[in-house]
Amino acid sequence: MYFDLKHVIRQKQTLFGKTEDSRRSEVVFPPFVADSPPDGPGEFGHGVIIDETSLSEEDSRKFKDGWKKNFFNQYASDKISVRRRIDESDKDWFKQCSKKKYRPDMRAASVIVCFHNEAWTVLLRTIHSILDRSPPHLLKEIIIVDDGSTMDHLKEPLAKYVSALDKVTLLRTSQMEGLIRARLLGYSKATGSVLVFLDSHIECFPGWLEPLLDRIAESPYNVPYPMIDAISKRSFSLKAIHPCCVGTFKWMFLVFAWASYHSDDPTKGLYDPMKSPTMPGGLFAIDKDYFAKLGTYDDQMNHWGGENMELSFKVWMCNGTIEVIPCSHVGHVFRDQSPIKWKTGSQLVRNSIRVAEVWMDSYRKYYYDTFHSKLGDYGDVSERKLLRKRLKCKDFGWYLKNVAKEVQIPENHIISGEIRSMAAPVCLESTGVGGHVMIKPCHGVGYDQHWYMLDNGEIRSAHQTSLCYVSETPVLVAAKSCRGEKGWIYTQDKTLMVDSNSVPQICLQASPGKDSLTAKPCNSSPWQKWIFENYVKK
């Protein structure tokens, strides 16, 4: 099933009409499956389940190594053809979307894919899915940008491999620049008038490109992004998901989050574009001139993170519209953590401070509130401020009021900070999953241990400001959507946290050695006493 170099080159010559004979090349490609029969592993988006216990010693080593290097199951990916089939033509989304008519004046796109140490088969599947599933007249080129990779397969073998592919250009940064400057290198060489940015571990579905380009043909100020379907990091299974959500953000870390979508326009159907206050950042299309006008990305941002918020805010504030396009599907391998490390650690906070300083006006304090450390050296943002001034964009208050309406502004809080037990050095900590709250050692830096109490007694975490905590007698404290009802009373002596709705009175309580938060009848034990930082009762 695996093909050697000669076969691969022959394969590509027939696939992509190349005539050059590179059969005598000495480059050795890592093994991969170019094509496999319809019932081959992973075909039609099926997952490949690996039973680790049945692997030989050598395969077991490869399996472990694949996980270690990529934080996904490279061993499973290597079993799957880099040109596997995806066919969702029997699905409702595909049937409905196939009926849509797209504008004839769509422009061809330059697709830019940046990568750092991407797995061979995963990168190849990315490239082939773009080539195979984009109408040729709408694909100007694919620019792949190697951002300082150190893995051998990304050196000569990759250069050789893509040299046999039509429309694909390989660029390399001179050192690891981070995805923001790597994308800017791709942008600087793009010849198309529309740009599409993609991650390097994706798979485009049939029909992915047209609905994106159609939105830009409609208006150069539309910035569309596809439905991002999950490619399983364990089995590489892939199925299209149902339209449900649009992007928003959290004050904590200033990161992207999904929010459910409700249209108040009855003429809008399930598969029509949905306005999205933010974009996840990896996969989107944008008119090149509009991108340039917006000052592209902030090239002083390093490594990873923050660039998606900058672009989201400024698109909306400067005349544009971000949309999710339910008829465009692209799969992406989601991971909880990335194996890619930056020389000086995570740059997310530094990048986000740059965004906040330039774009968020006085609202930036709600982001800064959520961490207790100093801003530190975030570089010079004067150029970016001048850019904003020149663009004469709307302000952040307008954006929150008219676009990111779901984002709760903890404006009327009377207390904020950590909620610390008086019995032990432990604090309330939000896990970020369904509003779940735990008792953990106080870490003193805010974030998931940063809380607000509003003037009506609602307690909200900086992690999920739309959730409120209520006591569910006899034991639990549960998170519910905030409805403006009366919440908790922080007693005059600033110790007890009493549920204002309870008779007899119920108090917030920690328990020795346990990490769950409870609500019990008030008894003034030290485990019911709390210090809420920054007590600023008006």
Residue from 74, 121, 200, 518 touching ligand UD2 (CB under 6 A): that is 200
Residue 296 in contact with ligand UD2, rule: CB under 6 A:
no
Are 496 and 525 in contact by the 8 Å Cβ rule? The answer is no
Name the residue among 449, 452, 459 with its Cα closest to residue 420: 449
Site string (84-123) toward ligand UD2, x via CB under 6 A: ------------------------------xxx-x-----
Query: Given strand 459-461, what is the order of strands in its sheet?
Result: 413-417, 451-454, 459-461
Shortest distance, position 226 Cβ to ligand UD2, whole Å: 10
Site string (166-205) toward Mn ion, x via CB under 5 A: ---------------------------------x------
131 or 427: CB nearest ligand UD2:
131
For residue 210, give both structure tokens.
Answer: 């047209």
Residue 118 in contact with Mn ion, rule: CB under 5 A:
no
Name the residue among 236, 219, 241 with its Cα closest to residue 40: 236
Site string (361-400) toward ligand UD2, x via CB under 6 A: ----------------------------------------
Tell me how many residues contact ligand UD2 (CB under 6 A): 24
Q: Which stretch binds ligand UD2 (CB under 6 A): 23-31, 44-52, 175-183, 264-272?
A: 175-183
Residue 310 in contact with Mn ion, rule: CB under 5 A:
no
Shortest distance, position 201 Cβ to Mn ion, whole Å: 6
199 or 369: CB nearest ligand UD2:
199
Residue from 282, 331, 417, 446 touching ligand UD2 (CB under 6 A): that is 282
Helix (H) or strand (E) holding 68: helix 57-70
For residue 74, give both structure tokens.
Answer: 């490279």
161 or 284: CB nearest ligand UD2:
284
User: What is the 3 state secondary structure string of 433-466?
Assistant: CCCCEEEEECCCCEHHHCEEEECCCCEEECCCCC
SS3 13: helix
Residue 253 in contact with ligand UD2, rule: CB under 6 A:
no
Are 407 and 277 in contact by the 8 Å Cβ rule? The answer is yes
199 or 448: CB nearest Mn ion:
199
Are 110 and 212 in contact by the 8 Å Cβ rule? The answer is no
Shortest distance, position 256 Cβ to ligand UD2, whole Å: 7
Residue 203 in contact with ligand UD2, rule: CB under 6 A:
no
Q: Which stretch binds ligand UD2 (CB under 6 A): 19-27, 204-212, 332-340, 522-530?
A: 332-340
Residue 369 touches which of Mn ion, ligand UD2, none (Cβ within 5-8 Å per kind): none
SS3 480: strand
Residue from 210, 298, 307, 357 touching ligand UD2 (CB under 6 A): that is 307
Residue 41 touches which of Mn ion, ligand UD2, none (Cβ within 5-8 Å per kind): none
In sequence order, what are the residues at sequence separation of 6 or more whose Cβ sits closer than 8 angstroms to the Cβ of residue 406? 248, 259, 277, 466
Residue 304 in contact with ligand UD2, rule: CB under 6 A:
yes
Q: Which stretch binds ligand UD2 (CB under 6 A): 84-92, 274-282, 361-369, 462-470?
A: 274-282
Residue 426 touches which of Mn ion, ligand UD2, none (Cβ within 5-8 Å per kind): none
Can you tell me the distance from the alpha carbon of 304 to that of 481, in angstroms, rounded to the nearest whole number?
Answer: 32
Rounded alpha-carbon distances, angstroms, from residue 518 to 363, 513, 514: 33, 13, 10
In sequence order, what are the residues at sequence separation of 6 or more whose Cβ sits closer than 8 angstroms to the Cβ of residue 191? 110, 140, 141
Residue 206 in contact with ligand UD2, rule: CB under 6 A:
no
Name the residue among 122, 372, 378, 374 with its Cα closest to residue 233: 122
Q: Which residues of 191-203 are buried (b: 16+ CB within 10 A; e: fewer)?
A: ebebbbbbbbbbb
- Give the sign of the dihedral formed by CA 436, CA 438, CA 440, CA 446: positive
In sequence order, what are the residues at sequence separation of 6 or more whose Cβ sits closer than 8 angstroms to the Cβ of residue 235? 47, 48, 49, 50, 73, 76
Can you tell me the distance from the alpha carbon of 538 to that of 523, in angstroms, rounded to the nearest whole number?
Answer: 28
Tell me the backbone φ, ψ of residue 281, rounded to 5 degrees.
115, -25
Residue from 73, 308, 352, 528 touching ligand UD2 (CB under 6 A): that is 308
Residue 280 in contact with ligand UD2, rule: CB under 6 A:
yes
Residue from 179, 213, 437, 522 touching ligand UD2 (CB under 6 A): that is 179
Shortest distance, position 281 Cβ to ligand UD2, whole Å: 3
Distance from first CA to last CA of the chain, Å, rounded? Answer: 73
Residue from 182, 195, 454, 522 touching ligand UD2 (CB under 6 A): that is 182
Residue 349 in contact with ligand UD2, rule: CB under 6 A:
no
159 or 230: CB nearest ligand UD2:
230
- Give the sign of the dihedral formed by CA 183, CA 187, CA 189, CA 193: positive
Number of Cβ within 10 Å of residue 392's Cβ equals 9
Shortest distance, position 313 Cβ to ligand UD2, whole Å: 14
Shortest distance, position 297 Cβ to ligand UD2, whole Å: 10
- Interface residues toward Mn ion, by CB under 5 A: 199
- Interface residues toward ligand UD2, by CB under 6 A: 114-116, 118, 147, 176, 178-179, 182, 199-200, 228, 280-283, 303-305, 307-308, 332, 338, 340
